[in-house]
């Protein structure tokens, strides 16, 4: 009888040990799964996606909210987009003056566990109303197009990288190495622009909308925009006539428009002045042509430089 009790006691201990072991393994697996969770980052439009993706490499999942080929100025998020942002670890956008819907959106989602990165926040923005006399669209005159300056783009990369490291410190070295590599490419791009444009015979260029103010300022050029900060604002006939006279006076031979919007206004001015039209890409999204050519941010910026040469050298 005593042997039976001892056997039963040992058997009971084995069961308890098995249960404890199972619970421990379950907790270990849960902890392991939690620690192995990949960062989920949501970015607004192409430059923010490109900068972020270059920094994280394959260590995080990066979503692009505004699809390439979509004009982002008037884009608004859907309920599904808001849910995706809510479920992410980091949300990256350029500026409250560009993605104007972010202010309202950030009051409607729970940001207690969400790192929000306004990549242009440390940059002093141009007041477009002071820079030129173009007819600005209603709203703020702050120019948010900082990503078109290879110098200011590096500042955005730094802001994005800091947030990523805070969210995933264990991969800090990798993120810093990737960010350094990207900033080196942007620095090379800056040097290419400087070297190419320093001998430009013409310093002014005409664009469909005021997207290239930072790029122009960086390299000693002057942007003459047909419309204001938004490409869908059409100028008055009086403004077009004024621009036509300015274009003829300064012997400007190219009128630039962008691939994601209609070229109608640019073409009207070109017809009036005998100029030609060309695409100058503000990188608000890759066009179908860009994607077919396999171009990224650096590739498009180099292509833009070649297009600028058409009107700045003669």
Secondary-structure breakdown of the chain: helix, strand, coil percentages, each rounded to the nearest 5 = 50, 10, 35
pTM value?
0.86
CATH code of the domain occupying 192-312: 3.40.50.1980
Q: In order along the chain (314 residues), what is the average pLDDT of each group of 10 residues?
A: 45 43 46 64 98 98 96 92 97 97 94 96 87 51 96 98 98 98 98 97 94 97 88 81 94 92 90 95 94 97 98 92
Instruction: Report whether 178 contacts 146 (CB < 8 A).
Output: no
User: Where are the chain's structural domains?
Assistant: 39-191, 192-312
| Whether the domain at 39-191 and the domain at 192-312 fall into the same CATH topology | yes
Please give the class, per CATH, of domain 39-191.
Answer: alpha beta
> What is the structure's pLDDT at 177?
98
Residue carrying the six token digits 């274009």? 247
Instruction: Report whether 233 contacts 135 (CB < 8 A).
Output: yes
> What is the structure's pLDDT at 10?
45
Taking the C-alpha atoms of 101, 301, 204 and 225 in order, what is their torsion angle to the nearest 10 degrees? -20
> What is the structure's pLDDT at 140?
64
Kindly give the pairing relationship between strand 115-118 and strand 204-207.
unpaired
**What number of residues does the chain have?**
314
């Amino acid at each position: 009888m005593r042997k039976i009790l001892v056997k039963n006691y040992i058997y009971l201990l084995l069961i308890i040990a098995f249960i404890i072991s199972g619970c421990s393994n379950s907790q270990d697996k849960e902890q392991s799964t939690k620690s192995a969770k990949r960062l989920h980052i949501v970015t607004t439009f192409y430059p923010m996606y490109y900068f972020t993706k270059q920094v994280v490499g394959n260590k995080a999942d990066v979503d692009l909210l505004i699809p390439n080929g979509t004009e982002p100025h008037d884009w608004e998020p859907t309920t599904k987009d808001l849910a995706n942002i809510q479920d992410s670890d980091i949300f990256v956008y350029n500026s409250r003056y560009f993605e104007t819907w972010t202010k309202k959106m950030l009051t409607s989602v729970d940001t207690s566990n969400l790192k929000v990165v306004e990549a242009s926040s440390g940059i002093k923005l141009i007041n477009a109303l002071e820079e030129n006399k173009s007819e600005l669209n209603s709203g703020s005159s702050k120019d948010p197009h900082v990503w078109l300056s290879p110098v200011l783009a590096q500042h955005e990369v730094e802001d994005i990288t800091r947030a990523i490291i805070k969210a995933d410190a264990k991969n800090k070295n990798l993120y810093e190495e990737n960010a350094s590599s990207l900033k080196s490419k942007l620095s090379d791009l800056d040097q290419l622009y400087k070297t190419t444009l320093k001998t430009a015979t013409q310093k002014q260029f005409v664009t469909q909308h005021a997207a290239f103010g930072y790029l122009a300022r960086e390299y000693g050029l002057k942007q003459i925009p047909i419309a204001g900060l938004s490409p869908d604002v059409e100028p008055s006939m009086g403004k077009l006539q004024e621009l036509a006279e300015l274009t003829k006076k300064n012997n400007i031979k190219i009128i630039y428009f962008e691939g994601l919007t209609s070229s109608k206004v640019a073409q009207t001015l070109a017809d009036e002045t005998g100029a030609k039209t060309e695409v100058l890409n503000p990188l608000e999204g890759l066009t179908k042509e860009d994607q077919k050519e396999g171009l990224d941010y650096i590739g498009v910026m180099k292509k833009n430089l070649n297009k600028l040469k058409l009107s700045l050298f003669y």
